[in-house]
Amino acid sequence: MNVTLSEAEKVIDAAKKKAESKGTKMDICVVDTGANLTAFARMDGAWLGSVDISIKKAKTAIFFNMDTAQLSPMVQPGSPLYHIEHSNQGLITFPGGVVLKNKAGEIVGAIGVSGSTVEDDHEVAEAGAKAL
């Protein structure tokens, strides 16, 4: 079960609307269960550096089947996954990557959002995920 392109477009549209309602400009990425890019959109004026960060957030979420916000405490100095970011050609382990589930609750992909505070990023990613 993989997110389809039309579902990914719905997810991105919902995320864009949430971003606009918050006055933010986001880079938004959707990957499938194989961690491969399904769709991407950079809102006009969104940070260039967030292109890669949004992609890495989405990949990181699907790599471990959990939101990146759950990883954040585990990657701190002294914590179990310290420096996990060195794997997989670079992970992003702060909030903004959220798994996508279908109505049956199965994971079908992930969304990654970057372009504002990590709280905003996570909120916009959640809004996208809810569109499924």
Residues near a copy of itself, by CB under 8 A? 4-5, 8-9, 32-44, 47-53, 56, 60, 62-65, 72, 75-78, 80-95, 117-118
Question: Closest CB to a copy of itself among 95 and 128?
Answer: 95
Question: Closest CB to a copy of itself among 31 and 129?
Answer: 31
Question: Closest CB to a copy of itself among 42 and 127?
Answer: 42
CB of 16 to a copy of itself, least distance (A): 8
Secondary structure of the chain as H, E, C letters: CCCCHHHHHHHHHHHHHHHHHCCCCCEEEEEECCCCEEEEEECCCCCCHHHHHHHHHHHHHHHHCCCHHHHHHHHCCCCCCCCHHHCCCCCCCCCCEEEEECCCCCEEEEEEEECCCHHHHHHHHHHHHHCC
CB of 131 to a copy of itself, least distance (A): 16
Question: Closest CB to a copy of itself among 75 and 130?
Answer: 75
CB of 69 to a copy of itself, least distance (A): 11
